[in-house]
Amino acid sequence: MGEIYLAKLWKRVIASLLDYGVVFALAITFYMFLSNGIIDIGFHNASLKQEQFKLQEKSHLFDVTKENETISQVKLLEFDEEDINSYKSFLNAIHDFYYDFLTLDNKSNENLNKEYFLFDENKLENAIFKIENINDSIEDFILKDEIVNIETLEKVSKNDTEKYIETISLYFLSEEKGVYNLSLTYFTNTEEFKNIDLNIAYVERIEIMFSMLFSSLIVFAFPLLFNKNGETLFMHFLKLGYSNRNGYKVNFALKIIRLVVTLTLNTISMYLYLIPFLINILFLFITKEKRSLIDIASGMVAIDMVRSTIYQDYEEMKKDEK
C-alpha cells in the first residue's frame, strides 16, 4: 500500500455540495423541458394538463383564459358580495355544474352524497330567476327574498342586515359549508378528474426519475468512469480522488458499483425529500475515515491526491520500492 492521506472533511463537503448543486440544477431544468413538452420521451404530461384544464372549464366552476384555443390559465371564480353580477355568476356556475356537468353516476354516488352538499334544483332555478330580474340593491334583495338555503349555517336574523349579508357570503365561500367550495371538492372527487389527476401524478414521477437519472449521469458517470482516480468534477478541482480500502487504485468494477449506488440514491432522494442525500452527507461527519454512505457501499476512500501516493496493486508498489 502506498502513502495515503485522507481527504479533508471541508473539501469533501464542498465537493459534494457543488456536485449535487449541479445535479439538482440540471434535473430541474430537464424536468421543466419534459413537463412543458419541449423534450418528448414518449409521455405527454402537457397534453394531460390540457385535458385537465378542459375538464375544469367544462365544470363551470373556474375562470379560464385561452390563447389560440389552448387553455393557458385556470383560476377560481372571484366573489364580490357587493356586486349583484357576482351573485348571478356564482349561482349560474353552481347550477350548471350540478345540473349540466355532473352525470347521473356522479349524483348517485353514495359516498359523495353522504359527504357533500346536494342542491335543490327548484330553489336554485328560482334564485337565478329572481337575481336575473332584480333591480334593487343586494341588501334589499336578500332581505326580501331568501335566495339560498342557509339552514346548515348559524341562524341569523334578517333584521341584522350586515350579519345576514355576511352569512350569505359564507354560504358561497365558507371553507367547511360554502356551497362553492363544496362544489369544488365534489368536482375533484369525480372519477373523471381523479383519473386525470392520477395519470398526471404518474407521468410526473416518471419525468422526475428521468430528470434525476439524466443529470446524475452527466455529473457522475463520465468523470467517475474516465477520470484516473474516479473523482468527480469538483473533486478534481480540489485535488481529491479515490482509492480502495487497501489503499490501491480503484478498478473499473468499483467505479461501476459506485455509479449504480449513486444513481439509485439520487433517484430515491427525489421521492423522499432529499433525506437519503442528507444521510449520505451525514456519514462524512460520523465515520472514522470520513466516508459517505456511497463510499462505504462502493468500497472506496476519498484521499488527498497531492499528498498521497497510490499504486495499481501490491506488485506495482514493490517494483517502485526497488
Q: What is the pLDDT of residues 288-302, one digit of tens each?
A: 888 999 999 999 999
pLDDT greater than 90 at residue 96: no
Q: For residue 288, how many other CB atoms are within 10 A of its CB?
A: 6
Q: How confident is the model at residue 173 (pLDDT cuts 50, 70, 90)?
A: low
Question: Mean per-residue pLDDT for 241-249?
Answer: 88
- Among 89-93, 204-208, 301-305, which is the least confidently predicted range? 89-93
Question: Mean per-residue pLDDT for 112-132?
Answer: 50
Which domain range does residue 256 map to? 9-40+204-321
pLDDT at 126: 55
Classify residue 4: in a domain, yes or no.
no
For the chain, give the mean pLDDT.
Answer: 76
Question: Mean per-residue pLDDT for 75-103?
Answer: 76
171 closest CA partner among 152, 197, 193, 186:
152
Classify residue 131: in a domain, yes or no.
yes
C-alpha span between 65 and 44 (Å, rounded): 21
Classify residue 2: in a domain, yes or no.
no
Q: How confident is the model at residue 98 (pLDDT cuts 50, 70, 90)?
A: confident
Classify residue 3: in a domain, yes or no.
no
pLDDT greater than 80 at residue 7: yes
Classify residue 24: in a domain, yes or no.
yes
C-alpha span between 276 and 267 (Å, rounded): 10
- Residues 6+ away with beta carbon under 8 Å from 87: 131, 138, 147
Question: Mean per-residue pLDDT for 134-163?
Answer: 46
pLDDT greater than 50 at residue 283: yes
Classify residue 83: in a domain, yes or no.
yes
Over the stretch 192-202, which tens digit does the pLDDT of each residue have? 899 998 888 88
C-alpha span between 99 and 96 (Å, rounded): 5
Please tell me which residue, 109 or 53, carries the higher pLDDT value: 53
C-alpha span between 143 and 148 (Å, rounded): 12
C-alpha span between 13 and 11 (Å, rounded): 5
Question: Mean per-residue pLDDT for 226-242?
Answer: 88
Residues 191 and 226 both lie in one domain: no
- Among 23-27, 88-92, 176-180, 244-248, which is the least confidently predicted range? 176-180
Last residue of a domain, one of 197, 224, 244: 197
**Which percentage of the chain shows pLDDT scores above 70?**
69
pLDDT greater than 50 at residue 154: no
Number of domains the chain contains: 2
Contact by Cβ (8 Å): 207, 45: yes
Please tell me which residue, 61 or 88, carries the higher pLDDT value: 61
Please tell me which residue, 49 or 41, carries the higher pLDDT value: 49
pLDDT at 138: 47
Could you tell me the three cell numbers for 200?
A: 398526471
Residues 248 and 136 both lie in one domain: no
C-alpha span between 128 and 122 (Å, rounded): 10
